[in-house]
Amino acid sequence: MTQQAFVGIDVGKSWLDVAVWGEEDVHRLSNDAAGVAALLDSLTVLKPQLIALEASGGYEQLAARGMMLSGFPVAVANPTRVRALAKANGKLAKTDVIDARLVAEYAAKIRPEPREPKVEAEIRIRALVTRREQLIQMQTAEKNRLGTADPSVKLHIRRHLDWLAAEIATVRAELDELLATLPEWRARIKRLESIPGVGFITAVTVLAELPELGELNRQKVAALAGLAPFNRDSGKKRGQRRIVGGRKAVRRVLYMACMSARIWNPVIRPFHDRLEAKGKVFKVVMTACMRKLLTIMHAMIRDEVDWRLPQPQNS
């Protein structure tokens, strides 16, 4: 085995199909604790340069978590990009074995950026943030149903809303308890909370869902959040710029933060008003404000700025 090995893993609900770039054999392991333990043993011997596995609706999380906690370089690949490589190579057939080899080829040729190594506490923080996001979405859906529901089922919806509110409070309490043991996280959250418009939930969600904040440059961070407009030009045609993809949870909390920041933040407010005065539509203005707020947060984490609230004038 070589230390320059590239590993691809095709993830299913029950199985992990593991391939090494340049080798014919594909090994199948169960997608459970025992299978992941066997995978970690084989990777310890192999010492791969990069491991790629496709995002698969959450079924990849157990293996990705185990490999990251063990210090392996892991990249979770977008299935659309892996399939695009297959089409470019004229590979139209699709089986688990073919997919595993294809993911290994993607790792070797594309070299996606591996995720930053994480400790157990950081993984738990992200899990709690994700769970809170799921509960909020369910709560919003139930509130929307309540207004049009038949009177005979409104009591059921209210009971569910009470349960959801209790669960959201429980998740928040667990999050606070966990963060109390992590002084570095508390310091970063407090620093971001000093920005007018940014609250605790915004700060912890951005830090959990966008760990690249402060590490990459601001353009790449904006692209990861799905706030970087992409060109649509061809010949003489100049298409409309649009944002594509990115991390929805980050955009959601930044949007809510900007609803407040456009009133109270001394940087975002004039920026918002200037774009609005130019006749920009609301969605364009808010997207620009979200990107600017993220840039401020990025600079705060990098210690490039030291935010200070304007001091009140003596009367």
Q: pLDDT 10s per residue in the chain (315 long)?
A: 345 799 999 999 999 999 999 999 999 999 999 999 999 999 999 999 999 998 888 899 899 989 988 989 999 988 888 989 988 888 888 888 999 999 999 999 999 988 877 778 888 999 999 999 999 999 999 999 998 999 999 999 999 999 999 999 999 999 999 999 999 999 999 999 999 999 999 999 999 999 889 888 888 899 889 998 776 666 776 766 676 778 889 999 999 999 999 999 999 999 999 999 999 999 999 999 999 999 999 999 988 765 544 444 443
Tell me, what's the pLDDT at 233?
A: 67
Decide yes or no: CATH 3.10.20.80 for domain 6-110: no
Contact 287, 256 (CB under 8 A): no
Tell me, what's the pLDDT at 3?
A: 53
pTM of the shown model: 0.76
Tell me, what's the pLDDT at 286?
A: 96
